[in-house]
Structure 1
Amino acid sequence: MYITTEGVKSERAPEDSAKITMQATGALSWRKADVKYRKNEAFVDVIEDVNLLMSATGAVLRADVTGQIIMRAYLSDQDGLQSLPSGNRLGSKATKAAAGSVTLEDCQFHQCVKLGKFDSDRIISFVPPDGEFELMRYRATENVNLPFKVHAIVNEVGKTKVEYSIGLKANFGNKLFATNVVVRIPTPLNTARITERCTQGKAKYEPSENHIVWKIGRFTGQSEFVLSAEADLTSMTNQKAWSRPPLSLSFSLLMFTSSGLLVRYLKVFEKSNYPSVKWVRYMTRAGSYEIRF
C-alpha cells in the first residue's frame, strides 16, 4: 500500500481484500449470511467436452478434454456452514496421487476453494456460494478415453461416384447409452443424388450443408452400427479435386468421463449436523470430434 496526494492506493488484488474482510469480520464475500432452506441439497455436475482429431489411417493426432465442475448448493447456515469437500481421484503434473490417478492441467478454482487442501490431499474443500456456480475447470491430455471409434472407408469411383462405408462403435460399457448421436459426413460440391442405408437411426442428405447427416437417438454401449451410401456426381468443367474435409461426430453421454475423473465422496459439514441430499452426475459431450478419411 502506498499514499499519494490523491488519496490512498493499494496494490492488493481483489481476492486479497476479500481475505482481509473475512479475517476481520468472518464474512464471506461470495456467500450471503443466514441462508435458510427447508430441504438442504447439494448437486455436482462434472461436465467434459472431449476433442479428437484422427487421421485417415486411424492415428490419433489430437485428443484432449476440457472439463468443468458445476455446483448447485442450497444449504442452510443454521450454525455456520463449515466446508463441503469432494474428494477426487485426481493428480497433477507435479504430484500424482495413488495408482489410477488422473492427471489434470490448467486447473482453475472458484475463490471459495481452499487451495492448500487441494495441493496436499487432493480434496476440494470450500464454503460454497448460494445457488449455482462453477467450482473448477480443467484440461486433460493424457490417457483420454474416447467414447466412440469411427471407421470410415470412402472411395471415389472415377469422377462420377463416391462410395461410403462408415462404422461407428461405442467404447463405453453396455449399461450406459449416449443420446443425440449425430454423424456429419461430407459430400463433394457437385453431388447430384445420394442413396443411403444404415443399420440404426436415420440418414438424410442435406444439400445446403454438403453433408449426409446420420442421427441415432439412443446408442447403447458396446453397440456398433454401419452406414453405407453412394453419391452420384454431376460432371463439371474445370473440376477441382475433392478436398475431403473430415467427418464430425456429436453426442451426449451420461455417467462417463473421458478424463477418468471420479468424485469419490461429497460431504457437508455443518455444526448442527443437519441431513442433506447430495447428488453427483457426470456428462461427456463431443467438443471438436473429427475423423479424416
Structure 2
Amino acid sequence: MLQCIFFLSDAGEVMLEKQMTGHHVDRSICSWFWDYVLSQGGDPSMFLCRVADVLTDYLGGLNEDVIKDNFVIVYELLDEMMDNGVPLTTEPNILREMLAPPNIVSKMLSVVTGKNSNVSTKLPDATASSIPWRKINTKHSSNEVYVNLVEEMDAIFNRDGILVKCEIYGEVQVNSHLPGLPDLTLSFSNPSILNDVRFHPCVRFRPWEADQILSFVPPDGEFRLMSYRVKKLKSTPIYVKPQLTSNAGHSRISVLVGIHNDPGKTIDSITVQFQLPLCVSSANFTPNHGTVNILADKTCRWSIGQVPKGKSPCLSGNLVLEADLEKLHVFPVFRVGFRIMGVASSGLQIHRLDVKNTPSEPYKGFRALTQSGEYEVRS
C-alpha cells in the first residue's frame, strides 16, 4: 500500500503532495528520502515508474515547469490511478477515456468556468472487461499490427579517442489495430543481450522467465510493450575526430565526421554541437558539407544532414583568443546527434511475431530506429 506521493523539484522542494490514505505522512520524510537517494542511488517502485510514464505520455514531458502548469491534471490522474493507497488503473488508454489530456481549449474553459471539462461523466468500456487495458468487442476496419525497435545510444569518447562508455536504452513500441481479443507472441533472435527489462502490464511474466518470449494481449492503439538496456557495446555507427591546436593567441580547430561501421542503411542526419570557451573573442568556421551557425551564447552548431558517399564531412575554423591569452586552457566537448533508420545498433533482432484469435491473418509491420542520446566526444 502506498500512503503518499510527493513530487520534488530539482532542488528537493515539494511541488505537489498527494496523501493516499487516512494516515497523514509528514513532509519531513522528503528530506530523508532526498538525501538517501542521492547517497545510495535508491530505485523507485514499479508503480512510481508507471506514474512517471503516464504523466510523460499525458503532458509530453516531465519536469518542474510541466508539473506546475498542469497541477490539476496531475492531481486528478493520481486520484484515478490509486484507490486508498492501492494501484487501480495505470493503463493510459483507459485513463484518456476517464480524463482527457490537456489542451488549450480545456485550459481556457477551466479558467472561465472554474470546472475541469476534461473529466468524463461515464466509466470507460474497459472497466467491464476481464482485461483492464483493452475494451470489450474492439472493432477495426483494418487488421494490422506494427512493432518498432527505437533505441538511443549513449557514448563517451575521451581525449585520446578511446570509447570509455557505450550503451543503449531501447523500447519495443507497438501500434495495434486488431479486432476482438487477439493474443500475440513476440520472440527475439538474441534476447540474452538485454538487461534491465521493464514490461507493460499486459505482458505475461512466466513465458519471459522461462523462454524469453513476450506473450500478451495488447491494448488498442500505440503503447510501449517493453524497455531495455544493452550495456558495454564496443563500437558506434559514426566517428567524430576533433583536433585542436593553440598558441600565440590563436587556435585552430578541425572536426572530421564519418561512418565508423557501415550500418547498411542511410544515416538520416548528423549534427555536431559544442560550446566555444569564454576566452574566445571571435571565431569563423568553414565546412566542406552542411551548414554552421554560431549562436549568441557561443554555441556552435554544425548541421551535416546525410553523410555523402565517398566523402567525409570536415569542419575547420580559427579561434581568436582574448588579448592577454596565449593559448586555450579549456577545451570544448563535442555533443553529437544522429538518426539511423532501419537499424537497431544494439544488434537486437525480432525473430517472429505470432497472432492468434483474429478473424484473419493480420498485416505485420516492423521497423527499427537508432538515434543519439548523450553522445560526447572530448577534445
TM-score of the aligned structures, taking structure 2 as reference length: 0.63
Identity of aligned residues (%): 24
C-alpha contact 1:178 1:221 (8 A) present in aligned 2? no
Matched with 1:209 is 297
**Alignment partner of 2:316 out of 204, 228, 234:** 228
C-alpha contact 2:257 2:312 (8 A) present in aligned 1? yes
How many residue pairs align between the two structures?
260
User: Aligned runs of 1:163-202 on 2, under 5 Å?
Assistant: 163-173=252-262, 175-202=264-291
CA change 1:127–1:221 in 2 (3 A) is farther
CA change 1:200–1:174 in 2 (3 A) is farther
Measure the CA separation in 2 of the matches of 1:145 and 1:69.
Answer: 22
**Alignment partner of 2:144 out of 34, 41, 64:** 41
Measure the CA separation in 2 of the matches of 1:281 and 1:144.
Answer: 24
Measure the CA separation in 2 of the matches of 1:67 and 1:246.
Answer: 25
Matched with 1:263 is 350
Matched with 2:213 is 123
State the Cα distance separating 1:44 from its structure 2 match: 1.2
Matched with 1:98 is none
Q: Residue type of the partner of 2:242?
A: A
**Alignment partner of 1:250 out of 323, 337, 340:** 337
Q: Residue type of the partner of 2:335?
A: S
Residue 157 of structure 2 corresponds to residue 51 of structure 1: no
State the Cα distance separating 1:212 from its structure 2 match: 2.4
Measure the CA separation in 2 of the matches of 1:249 and 1:12.
Answer: 43
CA change 1:182–1:42 in 2 (3 A) is same
Highest relative contact order (Cα 8 Å, sep 6+), 1 or 2? 1
C-alpha contact 2:339 2:371 (8 A) present in aligned 1? yes
Q: Residue type of the partner of 1:166?
A: V
Report the aligned-residue RMSD. Answer: 2.7
CA change 1:33–1:265 in 2 (3 A) is same
What per-residue deviation string (whole Å, max 9, x for no partner) do you get for residues 92-143 of structure 1?
4xxxxxxxxxx11110011111222122222211110111111000111133
**Alignment partner of 1:108 out of 186, 189, 198:** 198
Measure the CA separation in 1 of the matches of 2:233 and 2:150.
Answer: 17
C-alpha contact 1:190 1:235 (8 A) present in aligned 2? no
What per-residue deviation string (whole Å, max 9, x for no partner) do you get for residues 144-182 of structure 1?
541211111111123x21111111111343742222311
Measure the CA separation in 1 of the matches of 2:142 and 2:319.
Answer: 59
CA change 1:145–1:256 in 2 (3 A) is farther
CA change 1:55–1:174 in 2 (3 A) is closer
Residue 290 of structure 2 corresponds to residue 290 of structure 1: no
C-alpha contact 1:173 1:221 (8 A) present in aligned 2? no
Measure the CA separation in 2 of the matches of 1:218 and 1:62.
Answer: 25
Measure the CA separation in 2 of the matches of 1:48 and 1:244.
Answer: 30
Q: Residue type of the partner of 1:132?
A: E
SS of alignment partner, residue 224 of structure 1: coil
More strand by share: 1
TM-score of the aligned structures, taking structure 1 as reference length: 0.80
Residue 261 of structure 2 corresponds to residue 161 of structure 1: no
CA change 1:104–1:211 in 2 (3 A) is same
Matched with 1:75 is 178
Measure the CA separation in 2 of the matches of 1:46 and 1:235.
Answer: 52
Q: Residue type of the partner of 2:257?
A: L
State the Cα distance separating 1:243 from its structure 2 match: 2.2
C-alpha contact 2:307 2:313 (8 A) present in aligned 1? no
State the Cα distance separating 1:189 from its structure 2 match: 1.4
State the Cα distance separating 1:42 from its structure 2 match: 0.7
CA change 1:240–1:175 in 2 (3 A) is closer
Runs of 4+ in structure 1 off by over 4 angstroms are 9-15, 220-223
Matched with 2:46 is none
State the Cα distance separating 1:11 from its structure 2 match: 11
Measure the CA separation in 2 of the matches of 1:120 and 1:169.
Answer: 42
C-alpha contact 1:179 1:216 (8 A) present in aligned 2? no
More helix by share: 2
**Alignment partner of 1:86 out of 167, 175, 186:** 186
C-alpha contact 1:178 1:220 (8 A) present in aligned 2? no
Measure the CA separation in 2 of the matches of 1:115 and 1:89.
Answer: 19
Measure the CA separation in 2 of the matches of 1:44 and 1:150.
Answer: 32
State the Cα distance separating 1:287 from its structure 2 match: 0.5
C-alpha contact 2:246 2:327 (8 A) present in aligned 1? no
Measure the CA separation in 2 of the matches of 1:271 and 1:257.
Answer: 29
